[in-house]
Amino acid sequence: MIYDNKMKKQKILITGAAGFIGYSLCKKLVDKKNNEVIGIDNLNTYYPVKLKKEKIKELKSKKNFQFFKLDLLEKNKLNDLFKRMKFNIVYNFAAQAGVRYSFENPDSYVNSNIIGFNNILNLIKKFEIKKFFFASSSSVYGDIGPFPKKENSKLNTLNIYSLSKLSNEIIAKSFSKKLSTQIIGLRFFSIYGEWGRPDMLILKYLLAAKKKSNFELFNYGNHYRDFTYIDDAVQIVLKLSKSKIGKKFDIFNICSSKPIKITKILKIINSLKIKTKVTKKPLHAADVLKTYGDNRKVKRIVKNIKFTNYKIGVQNTVKWYKKNRHLF
């Protein structure tokens, strides 16, 4: 439980604190005075470090936030941090992201997403952490129907990124059988919004427009994605954190369950007087034509989830970008 002001302080670790979802979760958690939030991140150069440092700078303005530059491969330093802090709950959002990037740099996914994840789990076991939440991905479902995808749907990993996320789920489930820790996996679907990654659709298009460069639109724009606004995703994670989940290990889809064609997103951006040249191309080897999830399972646990209309979400993202384009 991390909201009740009458309760004693909760020590919370968030790995990947300078990342998209990790930062957004930190931002919400530090608003509660009873939360002592510790963030770690290796601040790698997958996308501009300037953007990551700006996030950490904002978080450090809060008295109940501490940051440590740490890699999940640094086992001794991580052990010292766990020993000193005595965490109540851990959220693992540190990972090498990007499906397309995994075709070019597979080693970084093995190191961060598999070896690093295993290091964290060993510390969860050693220090008997009460709750552990970790980021998985909708990519574990691959490209096979039927849709929408349920948590028990057949899985079909198509690249090293999705394989690394599935391995996380398998390793975590194995650990859960030996521990008293509750372990929850979160399959995120196409999260978008403020402070997002530059390699993701909306910011990628905005940056192409800024540079007046060509934007490559694969599969001729006929992709369907389950776009889920960042504030909604964080709301669900926080509510899951204080909910009674019957199982020691479980998996939840984090999604709006509303498939949207990619060209619809671009049209909203165009309506805000931002345009650039678009070159339509066939389906990229790293892509799937369609993916969207069934969110009924998480709705049974978390009541009254309100999802942001994607038009408002895109408008908010563009508005934020205009104020912060100097970071890119």
What are 48-72's pLDDT values in tens digits?
A: 899 999 999 999 999 999 999 999 9
The answer to the question of residue 314 being in a domain is no
- Mean pLDDT lowest among 91-100, 174-183, 187-196, 305-314: 91-100
Number of structural domains found in the chain: 1
HSE (side-chain half, CA atoms, 13 Å) at 211: 9
CATH code (residue 162): 3.40.50.720
Question: CB-based contacts of 238: which residues, under 8 Å, 6+ apart?
Answer: 2, 25, 28, 29
List, for residues 71-109, the tens digit of each pLDDT value.
Answer: 999 999 999 999 999 999 999 999 877 666 666 777 778
The answer to the question of residue 87 being in a domain is yes
Question: CB-based contacts of 225: which residues, under 8 Å, 6+ apart?
Answer: 189, 190, 201, 259, 260, 262, 290, 291, 292
The answer to the question of residue 321 being in a domain is no
The answer to the question of residue 210 being in a domain is no
pLDDT of residue 103: 65
Using DSSP's 3-state secondary structure scheme, residue 309 falls into coil
Selecting among 101, 161, 292, 321, the annotated active-site residue is 161
Whether residue 141 lies in the annotated active site: no
The answer to the question of residue 231 being in a domain is yes
List, for residues 116-146, the tens digit of each pLDDT value.
Answer: 999 999 999 999 999 999 999 999 999 888 9
How far apart CA 316 and CA 279 sit, in angstroms, is: 26
List, for residues 247-268, the tens digit of each pLDDT value.
Answer: 999 999 999 999 999 999 999 9
The answer to the question of residue 264 being in a domain is no
CB count within 10 Å of CB 217 equals 18
Using DSSP's 3-state secondary structure scheme, residue 278 falls into strand
- Written as six digits, the tokens of 203 are 């910011």
pLDDT of residue 101: 64
Range of the domain at 65: 10-195+226-257+292-307
